Every structure is written in C-alpha cells, then in structure tokens.
Amino acid sequence: MTAQSTPLSGRPRPRLSAARRLRNLLMGVLIALSTVVVVAPLLLIFFYLLREGLGAMNLEFFTRTPAPEGETGGGLLNAILGSLQMLAMASVLGVGVGVAGGIFLAEYPRHPLMPTVRMLSDVLAGIPAIVMGLVAYGLIVLQFGFSGLAGAVALGFLMIPIVVRTTEEVLKLVPVTVREAGLSLGLPQWLVILRIVLPAAAGGIITGVMLALARVAGEAAPLLFTAFGNPLVNLDPTKPMSALPLEIYRGATSAYDENQRLAKAGALLLILIIFATSLLARRASRRR
Amino acid sequence: MNEPVRPRPLTRAPLSARSDRTFQGLILALASVIVLVFVLSVYQLGRESWPALREFGLSFYTERTWNPVSGQFGAAQMLIGTLVTSLAALVLSVPLAVASALFVAEYAPKWLANPVGYLIELLAAVPSVVYGLWALFVIAPILGRWQQGFFADPANVALYTRCQDLWNSGQTTLQCFFVPSAFDGRGLALAIIILTVMILPYTASVARDVIRLVPADQREAMYALGATKWEVISRAILPYARAGILGGVILALGRALGETLAVAMVIGDSQEIIKSLWGGASTMASVIANQFGDAQERLHRSSVVALGLGLFFLSVAVNFLARVVIARLTPKGIQ
Amino acid sequence: MSTPLLSAQNVSIYYGDKQAVRDVNLTVQRGTVNALIGPSGCGKTTFLRAINRMHDLTPGARVTGRIVLDGEDVYGPGVDPVTMRRRVGMVFQKPNPFPTMSVFDNVVSGLKLAGVRDRARLMDVAERSLRGAALWDEVKDRLKTPATGLSGGQQQRLCIARALAVEPELLLMDEPTSALDPASTARIEDLMTGLKQVTTILIVTHNMHQAARVSDTTSFFLNGDLVEHGATDQVFTSPRDERTEAYVTGRFG
C-alpha cells in the first residue's frame, strides 16, 4: 500500500480550469435568471388583476348585468350564469364521448378502428379553438342561429380529446391482473370495465375532466360566433348567451372605462376559478 | 369423493359474451363521435370555404391582397404574419423554457422546484383573453412610451419620414424595419412578446418531463469523468433529451399558430405587407376573430373560413411533424 | 375412478407464430390437488390460462386441441367464454383484490356484480368463502374496510375466498405464493388440502417442494412439452424421464 502512494503523489493533480469553473457558474446564474423571467408574467398578471379588479368585485358585480355603454355600475351575472350553463352542457358531450373514447382506446386495443380513433383524437387536440368555433358555427348557428348550445358544442369538442387522453392513461394504470381477476369470476368484460376498472381509475378521470373544464372555461374564441354573447341573463340554451371570457374580450377592447373595469374584475374571477380548479385537480391526482 | 355442484343460474342479468358485444357497440358508437367531429370539421370548413377557393383557387394562400371592399382575397399576408409571430415567439421562448426546465429538474431543491413547477403549470392555464387584456393594458403602454420617446429626437423623426416614404411605396429596409410606425405600443412586436409568454409554459413543462426521464447513469457517467454541472447538462442531458424537447417545441408551435384572442387584441389588425416590427399585422387566427363576425359579403365570409381551413391543416401537419420528430430522434433503446 | 373433471387432449397453444405449448394430454380427477411444475417459460402458466379461456383476450394467442371440463368442450362451438369462466376460479401470482372495494364486496363481487342482491345470501356466501380461505377470523370485524388495507398474505387469501364464492368446479392457481413471505405461504399450503373438499385444484408452482407437499399429482413441463405426468410421489421419487429427474433433483432449472 505505502509503496504505491509514492508514484501517485508525484503525478500532477488535475485541476478545474478557471474558464470551466466560470462557465459553470455563469450558466447556473443564467438558468436561474431565465426561470425568474418565465415565472414573472404569472405574478405580474395576477397582481395586476388583483389591484385593478378586486375593487370592482362587489355585490353588484355578482348580481347585476352590465350597465348600458357610457353608464356606470353593473356586473357580470349574465356572463357568470352563461359560463356555468355552457360548461355544464359541454361536460355532457366532453365527458360522455371523452370517457367512452378513453375506454375504447384502453380496453379494446385490438379493435381495427383503435388506431384511427387514437390518431384523430390527437389531431383534434391540436386544432385551434377558434377553428372549432367556425365548425360549430357551420353545424349549428347557420341553421338555428346563435345559441348557448352552439357555444357548448364548440367547448365540448375542445374537451373531448383532453378527456380521452387522461382517461386512457389512467385506465392503463389499472393492473391487467385486476381485469383478469374479474373475468376469472365469470363476469363479462363490460361489467369488469364498468364496475371494477372504472371505479379504480375514477380519481384520475375526475382530475382529467377538471383540467379539461379549466382549459375550456377560459376560451372566448370559439364562443365569438356561437354563443355570441348577451347583455342580459339568459337561461334558455337556444338563445344567445354570454360567458366570462366573452365579456372580458368585449370589455378589454371597449373604449369605455366602465367596461374595462368589469373586464378586469371578470378576468380576476376567471383566473381565480381556473387556478382553483387546476390546483384541486392536481391535488386530487397527487393523493392517488 | 365430493362431487362439486354444477352451477345454477346465479343472476338475472344476461351475463354472456353477447352482452359484451352490446357494450362494445355502445362504446364504439360514442368513440366514433371523435371520428365524426373530425369528418364534420373538414366537411364544414371545406363547404364554407368552397366559394372562396373556387373563386381564387389555391392561389388564395399565396396571393397578398386582402381587400373586402374590392372583393380581393389572398391569405399570404396572414400566413406570413402567422409564421413570423409564431416562429419569433418560438425562438425567444425556447432558450428560456429549456433553462427553466433545467432549473426545476436539475438545480432547484425540492422545496423550490415544486412551487416553480406549479407556477409554470398555472401559466399554461391562464386564458388567452386574459393575456390579451394584460398585454393591452400593461405592456402596450410601456412600448408606447418607448415609441414616443423615440420621436422626441429630431434625428429619429427624420429617419421616420424617410422610412415612411419607403413604406408608402410598399418597401422597407432593415433599418426601417426597426423604426416604430405606431405610437400606442400595439403591433407585431407586442404580438410576438405576448405569444412568447404564452407558449413558454408548454415547452417548459414538456422539457422538464423529458429532462427528468434522462437516466441517472447518463449523468453519473459524465460526472465520473470530472465534468462540471454545466458540462453534464450540455453534453449528457441535453443531447439525450433533445428529441423530446424538440417534440415539445413543435407542439408549442402548434399552439402559437392557432393562438387567437391575445394576438387579435394586440396585433393591430392590418392586412398590409409587414413593413415594421412595430407596425400592425395580422395572423390567420386574428383575422378570423376580428372579421368573421362582420363579414356580410359571401366571398369575404367564405375567405375567412378558408383561413380556418388553412389553419386546420397547418395544425394537423404540425401534429404529425411532432410525432415524426419524436419517433426519429429518440435515442435508440428508449421506449 | 369416475370420469375425470378435466381432460386436455392434444392441446397446443400459439402466440402468433411461436408455439408455447405442444400437444399436451392431461387429466385431472375431482377433489384432487394437481401441480404443474417446470422452469420459467416452460408453458405451464400458458397452459393453465387456456383452461378458463384467458387467452381469448390476448392478441394473437391461439389454442388447438380439446379441453373438456366435466364433459363439455371448453372451446366448443356455442360455448360462451363468460359462462365457462364462471365454472373455473382463478388465483393469480400477485394478490389482486379489487382496489376500490371493501373486504366483503371483494369476496362477493362475483355474485354481486352479476346481479345478486339478496343480502342474507351474500353474507352467508361471504362467511363460508372466508372460512374456506381461513381468513374469516382475521377479517370478520373489518368486512367493510378497504381490501387494500390487508397484508399481502391476507389479500391473497381474500382472492382465494373471492374465487371460492362463485363455487367453481375447478380452481386454477398461478404461483399463488410466489409473492408471499414463508409464513403466509405455509398458511395457503395448509389451506389447499382442506379445499379439496369443495373443489379441485390445479396449481402452477415454481417451488418443487410446494408441489411435493400439497399435490396429489404432478406434471412436469419443459419447453412447452408435458414431459411427465403422474402421482406426485412417483414423479418425485422415481421419475420415468431423466429430464424430470434432473429437474426434481435440482440439477437444472
């Protein structure tokens, strides 16, 4: 042992050159700074809306419709109720088709239509929301006029691929042996899927649905030519309907201070709802 | 010997493989709605753009004039606007996004990485219209102040006058391209800025996921050679994660191409040739948002839908590109 | 001896082009425990899963030959695989209780999900099955708690109880103790002898000693062939085939 240490100690020790050390440090600092730049807009937007919008979020904001142009006061009750109605209707389409599509992809991988459905679902996920608005316009509005239902269909189309993907992913997390155990009991496959596999994946599916809802709740583009907007409270899905993102868009591009003020408060409410939904969904998926 | 009992009918439900076929039929019917939505989309967009495409042919997408008054419609200017804004936003956002992904995955301690990851996910959840509102009310005035400051200098005013002559004749130079042509902050530059912010979280979260999947032995092998942290990142991690990051970048491109309201609110809705970074422009999506509602003329309306059809196929193409890139570039031996 | 409960005649099983099991002929008598042994990949699990038509769900899998259960061809025309599986129970390598169900619901899931609503009968079946699986005393006070809260050994006995609850004529066990500790393994081995009173067992095992301890007959598989089939004593003490001898004496595998 001691005999070997002599030649070793004679070798030059490798040293980290100053240039390498400096570059390492510099890149670390740059990376940290970039992260600050990436995250900063979120905080800037949030505090801007908090400062500008919180004051306008009073009782009137939740209980009144927008005041006529040029007048002060009013609220976004029409938009809040419109968004709720359209999201509920969109969920029927998005969850019904989305969960079924996820089941189809995860549970019937040998079906000849499986690759087609998988591919088209991915393709739909990439179609811009405004284009879906044009499609829903052509499908519904051309015949029946602007309506909350048409808006909900556009939003539902946008939800479908998101729900399909998460449903498929969480169903695949349920071990194959759980399915086999069900089948070995002499249960038909449909009962195994509905009563054993789906309940086991329910948490993940709910998370996916919530994320899909959070995503489409903020969409204004597909509603422009479908739900169109409505200054009044409307509970009839066959009539034009307002939505929070629509009012934000109209208010922000309006010349009137009052409309801008409502838009900022609406934007604050919208991102609060969306953030809460996203965080809840994440927490739900964490716990599993 | 004990004789096991033969099963008696245990249930009321018709539990047989036949009931499976019924259920599979039901699921298939619902899943087919996905196919139906795609087919209906192509059909609707195709049918409604037909008048414009019949009138102008495929040169609709290469012709530069968009004039509702004279009934001349060519989408080239919006196609360019779409590509310019998206690609510029991509170039600006990718280094930032990858850096933030590296920070979360490689540098930050867990107590910091998790909240930063959260915030980046929330950024992705902010609606387009809220970004637009913020850009309009906060960023535009800042840019506007800079533009007004620019004109405080008489030499710059002279430069502006020279450029304006060029612009009026439909030309520009590199110098003039950076001369402000507006005073309110709105225009191409603001659209690029807000698009950059909007697509950052997409690339960042894909890049983070991909970087986290880089096997530990790749890192350790590099460290064992005496590499610094940055050398491990640049020579082991990034090359390994390249394909996945590129896939994420292309998906972000898809987002940027179709991003509508934030862009429509700030870009200044001009269908003329882009002459200045600070001037008005338009993208395919912004024109749909700004003009479809007002388009009374059949040809105008049809031309707007034809923009949507173009956007549709552009998204499909980008989606396929992303798949091909991920499949091709993924290092061998990775599933 | 009465007619065998199960007889396999020239059974071959393919995955795509690859043949996993070749020309197996085998009979199983009622009320016995029968072990399938052999090195991994020898086709014993593949053969076991053919009996309750689990391969119907595997892409590319094909079964030829005849498997006759109590006089009925399992793969005969017009035979419904779902109805067939109802007559054959199965216990898997790893305990796989249904994750969202309570202990009670797991045991009676075969009946309850199939539409049996009669509480008294379900309770009766649950108790009988849990006693059959030697689990009753441990879980009788926590029937409503989630099944995933049980220990691994308890979960596996729960899975046995779940299989017993539908009163199978034949119980297939696919290395049921391979994921368990020695104490839990011993409990399940003890259990099997008693289970002969209510059903017939076909068990795949890696563990030769387990086969020797619990089974009446033993079948030795190698590379997809059934090399030797006979009374357990005979197979272990005086095997007819030298490959069997090599295996049971631990010289390979």
* pLDDT per residue as tens digits for the range A141-167: 999 999 999 999 999 999 999 999 999
For residue C52, the chain B residues in CB contact (below 8 A) are none
Interface test with C, best of B3, B10, B12 (most C CBs within 10 A): B10
Structural domain count, chain B: 1
- Residues of C within 8 A of A110 (CB-CB) are 59
DSSP B243-268: HHHHHHHHHHHHHHHH--HHHHHHS-
Instruction: With CB atoms and an 8 Å threshold, state whether B6 touches C83.
Output: no
Chains that touch A (3 or more CB pairs under 8 A): B, C
- Percentage above 90 pLDDT, chain B: 60
Partner B, chain A 67-96, Cβ-Cβ below 8 Å: 96
Q: How confident is the model at residue A10 (pLDDT cuts 50, 70, 90)?
A: low
What percent of chain C has a predicted confidence (pLDDT) above 70? 98
CB–CB contacts below 8 A, A to C? 76
C-beta separation of C235 from C228 below 8 A: yes
CA distance B27 to chain C (A): 18
Helical H segments across chain B, by residue range: 17-56, 76-102, 110-125, 128-134, 140-151, 154-168, 174-177, 188-212, 216-224, 229-232, 238-258, 261-266, 284-291, 298-329
- The Cα–Cα gap between B118 and C98 comes to 33
Total residues belonging to chain B: 335
Contact list in C for residue A177 (CB cut-off 8 A) is 92-94, 96
Q: All domains of chain A, ordered by start, with CATH?
A: 59-67+75-287 (1.10.3720.10)
Ranges of each domain in chain C: 1-87+169-253, 101-167
Chain C residues whose CB is inside 8 A of the B16 CB are: 80, 82-83
| C173 contacts chain A (CB < 8 A) | no
Residues in chain A with CB shorter than 8 Å from the CB of C152 are: none
Name the residue type at position B296: Q
Owner of token pair 């305990």: C95
Distance of CA A59 to the CA centre of its chain: 28
Taking 50 as the pLDDT cut, the residues of chain C under it are: 253
| Average pLDDT along chain B | 89
CA distances from B72 to B61, B65, B328 (A): 12, 6, 43
Q: State both tokens at C63.
A: 């079964």
CA A52 – CA A75 distance, rounded (Å): 15
C-alpha span between A81 and B204 (Å, rounded): 35
Name which of C1, C116, C125 to mutate to probe chain B: the one with the most chain B Cβ atoms within 10 A of its Cβ.
C116
Tokens of B45: 């967009």
pLDDT in tens, B81-104: 999 999 999 999 999 999 999 999
Core vs surface per residue C24-58: b (16+ CB within 10 A) or e: bebbbbbbbbbbbbbeeebbbbbbbbbbbbbbbee
Q: Give strand pairing partners of C204.
A: C36, C174
In this prediction, residue C83 carries a pLDDT of 87
Name the pLDDT band for B9 (thresholds 50, 70, 90): very low
**Looking at the domain assignment, is residue B134 inside a domain?**
yes
User: Within 13 Å of residue A224, how many CA atoms lie on the same side as its CB?
Assistant: 27
Check: CB of residue C40 under 8 Å from CB of residue C247: no
B290: nearest CA partner in chain A: A224
The reported pLDDT for the residue numbered B1 is: 40
For residue C113, list chain B residues with Cβ-Cβ distance below 8 A: none
Mutate to test the interface with C, among A173, A184, A193 (most CBs of C within 10 A): A184
Question: How far is the C-alpha of B284 from the C-alpha of B308, rounded, in Å?
Answer: 7
What's the token pair of residue B93?
């956002």
Q: What is the ipTM of this complex?
A: 0.91
Residue C133 CA from chain centroid, whole number: 14
> If you measure CA to CA, which chain C residue comes closest to A198?
C100
Determine the distance in angstroms separating the CA of B305 from the nearest CA of chain A, rounded to an integer: 7
CATH number of the CATH domain containing B204: 1.10.3720.10
Question: Are the Cβ atoms of A186 and C100 closer than 8 angstroms?
Answer: no
State both tokens at A17: 């050159």
CA distance A204 to A260: 39
Q: DSSP 3-state assignment of C173?
A: strand
Q: Which of C85, C93, C101 sits opposite A186 (nearest CB)?
A: C85
Size of interface A-B (CB pairs under 8 A): 273
Measure B261 CA to nearest chain A CA, in Å.
6
Higher pLDDT, B26 or B156: B26
Residue B212 pLDDT > 60, yes or no? Answer: yes
- Among A130, A172, A210, A226, the residue to mutate for chain B (most B Cβ within 10 A): A130
- Which residues 38-77 of A are in CB contact (within 8 Å) with C? none
Instruction: For B259-301, write each residue's pLDDT tens digit.
Output: 999 999 999 988 888 888 999 999 999 999 999 988 889 999 9
| Predicted local confidence at residue B166, as pLDDT | 86
- Contact (CB<8Å) B24/A27: no
Residue of C nearest to A111 (CA): C59
Range of A76-90, B172-186, C198-212 with top mean pLDDT: A76-90
Structure tokens at B213: 């999947």
Angstroms from A116 CA to nearest CA on chain C: 18
Q: What is the pLDDT of residue A1?
A: 44
| Chain position carrying tokens 């992809």 | A105
Distance from CA of A179 to the nearest CA of C (A): 9
Residue B167 CB partners (closer than 8 Å, separation 6+): B176, B181, B275, B276, B279
Alpha carbons C171 and A9: distance in angstroms, whole number = 71
Report the residue of B28, B38, B133 to disrupt the A interface, i.e. the one with the largest count of A CBs within 10 Å: B133
Q: Which residues of B touch C87 (CB under 8 A)?
A: 7
Residue B183, domain extent: 79-280
DSSP state of C134: T
Closest in C57, C94, C114 to A187, CB measured = C114
Q: Does residue B333 register a pLDDT over 60?
A: no
Residue of B nearest to C86 (CA): B7
| C1-87+169-253: CATH topology | Rossmann fold (3.40.50)
- Which has the closest alpha carbon to C7: C82, C72, C100? C72
The nearest alpha carbon in chain C to B9 belongs to C83
Please tell me the distance in Å from B318's CA to the nearest CA on chain A.
8
Q: Characterize the bridge pairing of strands C170-174 and C200-204.
A: parallel
